[in-house]
Amino acid sequence: VGSEMCIRDSLKAPAAFATLAVKTLRQLAACTTPVALVVLGASFNFSGAVKEIKEVAFCVVGRLLIAPFLTLGGAILIGIRGIPLASIMAMTITPCAVASFAMAQQMDSDGELAGNALVFTTIFSALTMFLWVYVLKEIGVFNKIKASRLIGVNIMESKGKLVPKNE
């Protein structure tokens, strides 16, 4: 009986260690983006951005205006609406990826330009995200998504009261 307990307990130890290792690795993975942004912030040089203003402007306009216009325009033309269109919009109107800065440095490419593009697309995306949502809503390509289907209630238009669906 004692040997069975010893064997059983020894089998639990690797499983507990694996769980601990996975949890630790997940926490480290969650830190990568903030750490990359801190490294970028430490290496950012505004005078370098001024020297490359044409390239940075091309990156910002291309990433935040031209690419979303082409992608969303194509999606609208083929009839995508509602949540699928919102998903496409969420993928296309975002700033450059943080990993592009690290990748450009590791590949002996123009890391400074990648960093500048990341900084400026992040800054300007606050404005362009709002504009894309506003424009697409105003032209009517977003179907009204009924939250009542998600939460299980009907909303009475005239009085604004929540009524259970079964009524």
> What average pLDDT does the structure give for the chain?
80
Higher pLDDT, 96 or 4: 96
In terms of pTM, does the model score above 0.75?
no
* 3-state SS class at 153: strand
The average pLDDT across 95-123 equals: 91
Which residues are within 8 A (CB) of 94 and not within 5 positions of it... i.e. 6 or more apart?
A: 125, 129
Share of the chain above pLDDT 90, in %: 39
Amino acid in position 120: F
Confidence band of 83 (pLDDT split at 50, 70, 90): confident
Taking only the tens place, the pLDDT of each residue in 111-163 is 899 999 999 999 999 999 999 999 998 888 876 655 444 344 444 444 555 55
Convert the pLDDT of each residue in 6-30 to its tens digit: 555 555 556 667 788 888 888 888 8
Q: Look at residue 47 in the predicted model and tell me its pLDDT.
A: 84
Per this entry, what is the length of the chain? 167
Q: How confident is the model at residue 92 (pLDDT cuts 50, 70, 90)?
A: very high
